[in-house]
A = this chain, B = another copy of it.
Amino acid sequence: MFEAAELGRKVTKKEFEAQAPDLRVKMLEMQQALRKCDFPVIVVFAGVDGAGKSEAVNLLNEWMDPRWIVARAYGPPSDEERERPEFWRYWRDLPPKGQFGLFLSAWYTQPLLDNVFGRIGKAKLHDRLERIAGFERTLAAAGALILKFWMHLNKGAQKKRLEKLQKHPFHHWKITKKDWDNWKRYDKFVTAAERIIMRTSTGEAPWHIVEGLDSRYRSLTVLTTIHDAVVAHMDHRNAEAALRQKQRKRKPAAPAVQEAVLGDATILSRLDMTQTVEPEAYRRQLKQLRARLHKLYRKSSEKKLSTVLVFEGWDAAGKGGAIRRMTSALDARDYRVLPFAAPTEEERAQHYLWRFWRQLERAGRFTVFDRSWYGRVLVERVEGFATEQEWRRAYAEINEFEAQLIEHGIVLMKYWVHIDKDEQERRFQSRAETPYKRWKLTDEDWRNREKWDGYEQAVNEMVERTSTLNAPWTLIEGNDKKFARLKVIRELCLRMEKALD
């Protein structure tokens, strides 16, 4: 795989100095143009030690304007990072739209080292690379330009390079015993690298193998590749946008919902909505369930087990009331209830999942998402804020996100609190009539109600596609609020008991 990167290509000082000034200006102009674009550029530098990863990052920072560049290298995770899934720290460092993120090895470091040092075999390596490919695919699908450079040196060249660096007045401190230990494992590194590159060189995030022997050749190659890719991506995005514009003009967007598909046998229609509970039994059971949950909460706090709860449901379905009954068994310091409406400016400049990643709490806490990432396949689908392509691929993106939560040991509950259309109308009326509840009812609620069928189809499809073995949906029959509240807590208890077992 690396033969083409061992040809000893060089650029003379004269050639370099002839090209450099123009390229610098071009890089700056490209960066300024990028600032107005709606996508970030994510560049990963990995490869053989001494082949010029850091130098490339430094050069980019020097030649472009560092104010719109984030450069990151990663050591061992901090305790705050360890308390979240592995990719949390990469998500929080992602550049906003219009900016560069330069990542040194980053998410490739651990799988590579683990494989080289025999901590994981081929199968496990493959799983880890799947995760990486999923991460990059998710970002690329939303428009991010992802470029990956593998900086290569052959074994002899690496030895020479390490020796040279050891003598360099600026850089000798960078070469430690660890580098020489790694060098001894050169062949293993190359084998692992080949696997990594083969598996993660995808159409949307290809690897560029760069011969690392000559710094001038390397610099020109990396910079020119980045420049051309960014410019091409800008053109591509513009063309796409123009195309969409045109299509929109030609014919009105097809309705996201095909009414005919709605039959009798949807998941929601099979719920027994007549279930109720008597006030007396409610009080007794609520008390018992709260005590049960409280004990589980204490145990989970001790064990640093985190719990994430997602509440979705019709307007006025009683999400808020159910949440409050549930949280009343917890200490306020250990939970947060996060409402999600329109994203903020900083959130709009990022991938749609970013605003949820950033809210993952430290270990042992409860995070309640009052509406969630499922907005992508509910409101954004039905209202046409997301294109069909966007909400369709969101199912896989969401499953992947949740798989990471589960894998990290987080208890994930997803509730759909269901009421029927008549019950909703009764509740809207009641809200309209109760002075201190009136603020809850907006014109939007009435507008949403008109799209009931569209939402119903979206909910059905959501439940079908994102009810996974590890992260199933819990459907709550909510016509009777009391019944719903008990079921919410009971199901949480069951799941926590299983997790703490």
Bitwise, A13-39 to B at CB < 8 A (1) or not (0) is 000000000000100110010000000
Any B CB within 8 A of the CB of A104: yes
Q: Which of A52-60, A418-426, A457-465 contacts B (4 or more CB under 8 A)?
A: A52-60
From known contacts A78-B80, A345-B344, infer whether A328 and B58 are also in contact, taking CB-CB under 8 Å: yes
Any B CB within 8 A of the CB of A338: yes
Do A70 and B336 touch across chains, with their CB atoms under 8 A apart? yes
Q: How far is the CA of A320 from the CA of B68 in the complex (A)?
A: 12
By a CB distance below 8 angstroms, the chain B residues around A62 are 324, 327-328
By a CB distance below 8 angstroms, the chain B residues around A323 are 66
A224 shortest CB reach to chain B, Å: 17
From known contacts A54-B332, A332-B58, A346-B346, infer whether A67 and B291 are also in contact, taking CB-CB under 8 Å: no
Q: How far is the CA of A62 from the CA of B439 in the complex (A)?
A: 19
A168 shortest CB reach to chain B, Å: 11
By a CB distance below 8 angstroms, the chain B residues around A339 are 67-68
A359 shortest CB reach to chain B, Å: 12
Do B370 and A67 touch across chains, with their CB atoms under 8 A apart? yes
Copies of this chain present in the complex amount to 2
Do B338 and A67 touch across chains, with their CB atoms under 8 A apart? yes
Any B CB within 8 A of the CB of A159: no
> Which residues of A, 65-85, contact B by the 8 Å Cβ criterion?
65-73, 78-80
By a CB distance below 8 angstroms, the chain B residues around A139 are none
Do B331 and A173 touch across chains, with their CB atoms under 8 A apart? no
Partner of A436, one of B29, B54, B102, B370: B29
From known contacts A344-B346, A345-B346, infer whether A333 and B72 are also in contact, taking CB-CB under 8 Å: yes
Any B CB within 8 A of the CB of A298: yes
What size tier do the contact residues of chain A reach? 35 or more
Q: Residue among A291, A337, A362 with the most chain B CB within 10 A?
A: A337
Q: How far is the CA of A335 from the CA of B327 in the complex (A)?
A: 42
Do A294 and B170 touch across chains, with their CB atoms under 8 A apart? yes
By a CB distance below 8 angstroms, the chain B residues around A346 are 344-346
Any B CB within 8 A of the CB of A61: yes
Bitwise, A162-204 to B at CB < 8 A (1) or not (0) is 0000000110010000000000000000000000000000000
Q: Residue among A61, A73, A102, A333 with the most chain B CB within 10 A?
A: A333
A387 shortest CB reach to chain B, Å: 25
Do A71 and B328 touch across chains, with their CB atoms under 8 A apart? no
Bitwise, A206-229 to B at CB < 8 A (1) or not (0) is 000000000000000000000000
Question: Can you list 26 A-B pairs, Cβ within 8 angstroms, ordered by A?
Answer: A57-B331, A58-B332, A60-B332, A61-B332, A62-B324, A62-B327, A62-B328, A66-B323, A66-B327, A66-B332, A67-B339, A67-B370, A72-B333, A73-B333, A78-B78, A78-B79, A78-B80, A78-B362, A79-B79, A80-B80, A102-B332, A170-B291, A170-B294, A344-B346, A345-B346, A346-B346
Closest 3 A-B residue pairs measured CB to CB?
A: A73-B333, A71-B332, A67-B339
> Chain A: residues with CB nearer than 8 A to chain B?
25, 28-29, 32, 54, 57-58, 60-62, 65-73, 78-80, 102, 104, 169-170, 173, 291, 294, 298, 320, 323-324, 327-328, 331-333, 335-339, 344-346, 362, 370, 436, 439
18 additional A-B residue pairs with CB within 8 Å, beyond A32-B439, A57-B332, A344-B346: A54-B332, A57-B331, A60-B332, A61-B327, A62-B327, A65-B320, A66-B323, A66-B324, A66-B335, A66-B337, A67-B320, A71-B332, A71-B333, A71-B336, A78-B78, A78-B362, A79-B79, A173-B298
